[in-house]
Chains A and B, each alone.
Chain A
Amino acid sequence: MSEIVPALRAELAKIRGVRSTSVTLALFAAFSILLAALGGWSARTAIDSHNPRLRADFTAAQAGLDGILYGQLALIVFGVLVVSSEYGSGMMRVSLLAVPLRGRLYTAKMLAAGVMTAGVAIPVTVVSYLVTQTALGPHGTGIGAEGVPRALAGAVVYLTLMCLFAVGTASIARNAVIPLAVLLPMVFIGSQLLSALGLTKDLARLLPDQAGARMLEVGSHQAFSGFAVMLVWTAAITALGYLRHLRWDN
């Protein structure tokens, strides 16, 4: 079992070395922080000018978590690429020569994607929040405000699970096109659309991203149930991805 540690270190080195994965991870950080700044700045303008289009439920604390919700787009692409870059290039065979036990390779890959995401998500979440508050100026609030630390921690958990969900989906598809065509619309249109329609509100709450998003809500009472639903989704997709990985015969 000690061989899992070298396998994990190798996967981490691969993520850093392959251009597409390191670039998407950097884009996640850049997008999140940039959108956090833009969000804070536009909210401040709206408040100052008493713009009626400002959301009724706007709170400075919650606005501090908006940036990463858009930044997750890049993170999903990252998770997909961690796997698809290997199937696409023939590197999966090199990886299997180095780590022939498929369970070990898959676990190492999942751990590496998770560790990498969490490692980047922690500073990005905190910085995004602080950037939004700074941009809000006098309307901003502190990082220690009621419910904020838990929401920030929830955001890191959400982002990490979302990335693993993407890794699992790509392992099932063994390419990038299908998972991206499913995941990106699901997160940005599908779920929003379903909730907006209202008809399937309860159903939408069971979607992984919608459920998981409760973790990011400051003061939400559904944070834990949301986490549980998203965890079940991620575990299921990861398990399916593992079965597909086991059966890859090439």
Chain B
Amino acid sequence: MIDVQNLTKRYGQATVVDDLTFTARAGTVTGFLGPNGAGKSTTMRMMLALTRPDAGRVRIHGRTYRELKYPLTQVGALLETAAPHPSLRAEDHLSWLARSNAIPRRRVEAVLETVGLAGAARQRIGTFSLGMGQRLGLAAALLGDPPVLVLDEPGNGLDPEGMRWVRELLRGMAAEGRTVFVSSHLLSEMSVVADHLVVIREGRLLADTGTGDFIRRHGRTYVRVRTPEPGLLAHELEQKGASLTMAADGSLKVTGLPAGDISRLAAVHAVPLEELSVHTGSLEDIFLGLVGTEGVREGNNHV
């Protein structure tokens, strides 16, 4: 469990992290969500004692990171700016990390296997692709078999297959009872992996709530429908209580009715459909919506 209390960081005049308080619980994947520049990385660096907070504190299982004995066996971390030396071989990098925290040597082979880099063990890290580098970072985080994971944008640089693999890995880790704290700037990515969301913007907490709840409340999901008979369909949709707008290209943007219902409705009235697609508003849209209505924002501030 990670307990963040009143965490604040200022750089000169700018307050990058502003009085953040939240908790990441064991057995769940907690998504740390915010647009780029929201203060996610700074918060994570403070959790890991790389950056000194101006106020507040972070406790991991009741202790600060510096108080942890052999921290790699208690917290596995992945940070974008914490990169291994490019001239090291993958295996040598994990090997010195293992030594530093008295981790058994066999863990090096085990984690290389887990992340799919066993074949590149003797390769110098500088020759790695972005995705391989990311996998090596994950291997380093898993090395000490830690009960807590703190991962900054673990999907970065991975192909869709790699993304799915990371999702399954994180779900599996949480299912084993570990605390998984993972940042992202993409709601779509978080919505499929996180149980709980901590959402920040400009260093301030916007929401600390269950993922489903957050999306239900703020996720601007709509269905785009294209048909040669928009007038007829629009009439029927409104009858069913959906709200809709006509886009410039003649397609309908429907909210309040699931795609399946729209499809059935169209079939019943023999309206041909040329397109029926589900869209989720981007996180930025949600943020704009959140800050646009100050009341909504306050309502979600579970401090």
Contact = CB atoms under 8 A, between A and B. Distances in A.
Interface in A149-207: none
B35 interface: no
Contact of A10 (B69, B84, B97): B97
A101 B68 CA distance: 10
Contacts of A7: 100
Main secondary structure of the interface of B (DSSP, over half): loop
A89 B68 CA distance: 25
A113 to B, nearest CB: 15
A20 B72 CA distance: 26
Nearest to A14: B96
A11 B97 CA distance: 9
A239 interface: no
Given A6-B100, A13-B99, A93-B50, A100 B72 contact: no
B197 interface: no
Interface string B73-100: 0000101011111111100110111011
Given A3-B70, A17-B88, A100-B65, A10 B100 contact: yes
Contacts of A249: 50-52
B280 interface: no
Contact of A94 (B66, B68, B84): B84
A249 B50 CA distance: 6
Contact of A17 (B48, B52, B68, B92): B92
B87 A18 contact: yes
A99 B87 CA distance: 21
Contact of A20 (B79, B87, B100): B87
A97 B92 contact: no
Contacts of B97: 10, 94, 98
Contacts of A91: 82-85
B301 to A, nearest CB: 29
B36 interface: no
B168 to A, nearest CB: 25
Interface string A31-74: 00000000000000000000000000000000000000000000
Contacts, number: 91
Contacts of A3: 69-70
Contacts of A86: 85
A243 to B, nearest CB: 15
Interface residues of B, number: 35
B49 interface: yes
A90 interface: yes
B237 interface: no
A17 B84 CA distance: 11
Contacts of A18: 85, 87-88
A94 B88 contact: no
A100 B49 contact: yes
B71 interface: yes
A25 to B, nearest CB: 14
A86 B87 CA distance: 11
Contacts of A20: 87
Given A7-B100, A10-B97, A14-B96, A96 B50 contact: yes
A221 interface: no
A85 interface: yes
Interface of A: 3, 6-7, 9-11, 13-14, 16-20, 85-86, 89-91, 93-101, 249-250
A-B residue pairs, 5 tightest by C-beta: A10-B100, A93-B82, A90-B83, A19-B87, A17-B92
27 contacts: A3-B69, A6-B70, A6-B100, A9-B99, A10-B96, A11-B96, A16-B92, A17-B87, A17-B92, A17-B95, A18-B85, A18-B88, A19-B124, A86-B85, A89-B84, A91-B85, A93-B81, A93-B82, A94-B140, A97-B50, A97-B71, A100-B49, A100-B68, A100-B71, A249-B50, A249-B52, A250-B50
Given A13-B95, A17-B88, A93-B50, 17 more contacts: A3-B69, A3-B70, A6-B99, A10-B96, A10-B97, A10-B100, A17-B85, A89-B85, A91-B85, A94-B97, A94-B140, A96-B50, A97-B48, A97-B50, A98-B97, A250-B50, A250-B51
